[in-house]
């Protein structure tokens, strides 16, 4: 089964497919120490993570978020990603200018703003009892993977994650005419 086929795992999710491939290639370039030269490579390089486990966690999260693209449509999903990435980059740049502190590279803006959208758009399918309380849902594992990604590189990744989560909350807020359709 081909990744580009319409009946494959990326059916009706072409933007998710591009994000995952860019993250894999960009992370491979960073791990191997390759420096970006042409314009396209420098764009892909920005989607890379410095560690393999960090990249694997991010790819798994992006793979889960492809269902958001199917729910929203590729056009709306692409607009959400473009706006969230631009806003996150602007806030990270402002933070760097104000404090001199650089945040972690990688698509944190996309992943953590999509995590907020995931929280609002994807319903809980099942809950698992833990000590006789239904506190763990099927979505809890996604949140735990995101938490792992946010603390992977300490304060640098945590700040990038917090900024992106803030942007995601702004984009999904009803007072701003956000992207979330269900509450």
- 20: tokens are 């995952």
Q: Which stretches in the chain have pLDDT values below 70?
A: 1-7, 36-37, 40-42, 174-183
**Domain chopping of the chain, boundaries:** 14-176
Query: Cα separation of 68 and 8, whole Å?
Result: 16
pLDDT of residue 5: 47
- 71: tokens are 């729910």
Query: Cα separation of 128 and 157, whole Å?
Result: 30
- Closest of 54, 3, 4 to residue 26, by C-alpha: 54
CATH class of 14-176: mainly alpha
DSSP-derived 3-state class of residue 135: strand
- Closest of 82, 97, 103 to residue 159, by C-alpha: 103
pTM: 0.84
- Locus of tokens 């304060």: 155
- 50: tokens are 């410095």
- Locus of tokens 């942007």: 167
């Amino acid at each position: 089964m081909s990744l580009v086929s319409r009946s494959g795992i990326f059916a009706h999710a072409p933007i998710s497919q591009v994000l995952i491939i860019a993250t894999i290639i960009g992370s491979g370039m960073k791990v191997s120490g390759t420096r970006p030269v042409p314009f396209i490579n420098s764009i892909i390089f920005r989607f890379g993570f410095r560690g393999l486990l960090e990249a694997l966690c991010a790819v798994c999260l992006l793979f889960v978020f492809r269902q958001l693209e199917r729910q929203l449509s590729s056009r709306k999903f692409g607009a959400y990603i473009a706006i969230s990435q631009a806003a996150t980059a602007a806030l990270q740049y402002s933070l760097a200018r104000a404090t001199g502190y650089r945040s972690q590279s990688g698509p944190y803006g996309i992943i953590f703003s999509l995590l907020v959208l995931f929280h609002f758009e994807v319903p809980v399918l099942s809950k698992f009892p833990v000590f006789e309380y239904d506190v763990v849902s099927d979505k809890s594992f996604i949140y735990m993977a995101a938490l792992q990604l946010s603390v992977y590189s300490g304060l640098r990744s945590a700040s990038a994650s917090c900024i992106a989560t803030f942007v995601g909350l702004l984009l999904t807020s009803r007072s701003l005419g956000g992207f979330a359709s269900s509450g």
